Structure 1
Amino acid sequence: MKILITGINGFVGSNLVQDLKNEHILYGLDIITPEIEGVRHTYSWDDLDKELIDDIDTIIHLAGIAHDTKNQTKEEDYISINTKLTQKVFDYFLKSSASKFIFFSSVKAVADFVQEKVLYEDVVPNPKGPYGVSKLMAEDYIMKHLPTNKSVYILRPSMIHGPGNKGNLNLLFKVIQSGIPWPLGAFENKRSFTSIDNLCYIIENIVIKNIPTGVYNIADDEAISTTELIHLICSVLNKKARVWRLPKLLISIFASIGSVLRLKLNTDRLNKLTENYVVSNSKIKKALDIDSMPVRAKDGLKKTIKSFSNC
């Protein structure tokens, strides 16, 4: 297959290149256009405007602005990149020779908080922040312009992680590595993660298989609590887990102050670390005709954690 990957220089794009380069012909589309091993050519956005891109079979649209937990990204920037740029790439897909379009949305496009025990694809969307709203607007545009002769997939991954990723997991690792006790033991929660290995496995199968057009949640099979995650980090570090059960109200007050002062512990980050956010992956497994993901949640997390400490 000839595959065009937008945002190819990012974390997910870089991993997809390693996963797909031996079996497919890859092209990139990004702001910067360095030579990448395994990629035939990386185009600029001007090349898209000028329609200078070779004929391709599949477009994987990754380019976008990630959720900013410091709340420093402007709403218009989210709309410009996550919504309008997606519309532009999708319009190009509609008139191109490509037969498949894979759009990376987010579970945040439908829910900042999971009201029921598990988040399914049929939930009524209710995003709260500009990030989720911008992703949902992109989804709506795609769904309103679905072609009858091509396949379109909107993927909503839960928190993606893997070696080289510097998100909230890395911050949590540094806190535990420093020897600071984990103060959030009073929060009982379960949340879903997405191993980059499982994500690449899904994308590769969507590329080569004919599955129904639609919206699909992406997640590992097992949900993990923050306390379990702390113990997993400590096992990698060969440390005894130090978990404190400080009053929830006290922690919430500290987080509120952190939001005002733009500290690392703020309300948004506290919610990410302590919320219940369990995502069902049953629909994508049924579409791919598989019983389970190839990588267990704890194994994927351990691989990511080890990369933080170069273990």
Structure 2
Amino acid sequence: MRVLLTGASGFVGKRLAHHLDRFDTTTLTCAVRRPGTSHYGDECVVDGLGATTDWSGALNGKDVVVHTAARAHIMRDKVSDSLAEYRKVNMQGTLNLGEQAAKSGVRRFVFVSSIKVNGEHTLLGRPFTAGSKPAPGDAYGRSKFEAEQALQTLGKESGMEVVIIRPPLVYGPGVKGNFATLIRLVEKGLPLPFGAIHNKRSFVALDNLVDLIITCIDHPDAANEVFLVGDGEDLSTTELLRGIGMAIGKPVHLVPVPERALMICAALLGKRGVAQRLLGSLQVDISKARDVLGWEPPISVEEGLRRCFDSENAS
């Protein structure tokens, strides 16, 4: 099977390329913007991800496209029109790639989207499902949803199979963003006011996400489906911090401050969004992947956290 992978130098793409390159039955081509930035498979240099990018050389003879490249979610986006900027890459760039893939005879297009398509939070114990009505709450989520819609329409018109995967926060070796911030706080050993948080959030270990993507590359029942992915074990912020502490072998000093007090303090400091991510719930139901694909997360949360700090598991 001949696979084109976009975003091969990114957090997810790099790990995925590492695994795909090991399969004797797969011929991997990694699309990159700069020569020498992928260490797996063959390399094809393309000029970014936009509405006019020429993918003809990269797509020639390919059976499957796995599209992980995107304009990533930016917490403090300073552009004047963030939705327009996200659309250029995440919707227009994706559709352009999809259209050229269909014309080139690509059989399946696997699109790594985001749980932000569904929304920013869930009620406790009421997770998003693959059938939940999309309700993106920011420009990034909206651009990903528009890309999904465009690809699904293209698939119906062209016959190319489209598979959509929506992950929540992905963690693993080299993780950045909010998860990296929590790791640094635990490493400093300072008392943290998160000892009484009872929310529930779904996460996905990098290797669990990669495993589902690989499953979706050739599983016959994945065609034209949407899957949510996670570790299958939801954590409160309190539990997550303790898990990080166990993974790095450091005690975690958690002070049981009431959630309401934390929300009030955050609002006064203009950090309401940060508090909602730390204190609110966002759960995903992965039962569709289990039922349709027979897929189970291959590693536990405990193992996933351990691998964040294990250099042998870094790509």
**Aligned partner of 2:67 among 58, 61, 69:** 61
Alignment correspondent of 1:295: 299
Identity over the aligned pairs, expressed in percent?
A: 27
Aligned pair partner of 1:87 in 82, 95, 99? 95
Taking the aligned partners of 1:193 and 1:165, their CA distance within structure 2 comes to 12
Alignment of 1:168-247 (within 5 A): 168-211=178-221, 212-247=223-258
Q: CA deviation at 1:183?
A: 1.0
Structure-2 separation of matches of 1:82 and 1:220:
25
Q: TM-score of the superposition, structure 2-length normalised? A: 0.88
Matched, 1:49 2:54: yes
Equivalence for 2:14? 14
Q: 1:103 is paired with a residue of what secondary structure?
A: strand
Q: 1:88 to 1:300 in 2, by over 3 A?
A: same
Task: Trace 1:231-270 onto structure 2 (pairs within 5 A).
Answer: 231-256=242-267, 259=270, 266-270=271-275
Which residue of the partner structure matches residue 271 of structure 1? Answer: 276
Q: Distance in 2 between matches of 1:107 and 1:72?
A: 23
In structure 1, list runs of 5 or more residues that go unmatched. 260-265
CA 49–167 in structure 1, closer or farther in 2 if over 3 Å, else same: same
**Alpha-carbon displacement from aligned partner over 1:150-208 (angstroms, at most 9, x marks no partner):** 32101101111111222322110111111221213343111111111111111222223
* Structure 2 gap ranges (5+): none
How far has the Cα of 1:34 moved from its partner?
Answer: 2.0
Change (3 A) 1:64 1:258: farther
Tell which deviates more after alignment, 232-241 or 43-52.
43-52
How far apart are residue 257 of structure 1 and its match?
5.4
**Structure 1 pair 55–235 and aligned structure 2 pair: CA distance change class (3 A):** same
Corresponding residue of 1:130: 139
CA distance in 1, matches of 2:101, 2:269: 43
**Deviation per CA, 1:15-72, whole angstroms, max 9, x where unpaired?**
0111000212111223323253322122213795262232101101111122222343
Task: Name 1:99's counterpart in structure 2.
Answer: 107
- In the TM superposition, what whole-angstrom CA distance separates every residue of 1:93-138 from its partner, at most 9, and x where no partner exists? 2211210100111110121111461110111111111111111111
- Cα pair 1:69 1:269 within 8 Å, conserved: no
Deviations 1:200-219 (A, max 9, x none): 11122222321232111111
Aligned pair count reads 301
Please provide the CA RMSD for this pair: 2.2
In 2 relative to 1, CA 180–72 (structure 1 residues): closer, same or farther, beyond 3 Å? Answer: farther
Q: Which of 250-259 and 147-156 deviates more?
A: 250-259
TM-score using structure 1 length: 0.89
Contact kept, 8 Å, 1:34 with 1:42, in 2: the verdict is no
Q: Distance in 1 between matches of 2:53 and 2:143?
A: 22
Contact 1:69 1:268 in 2 (8 A): no
Task: Tell me the amino acid that sits aligned with residue 86 of structure 1.
Answer: T
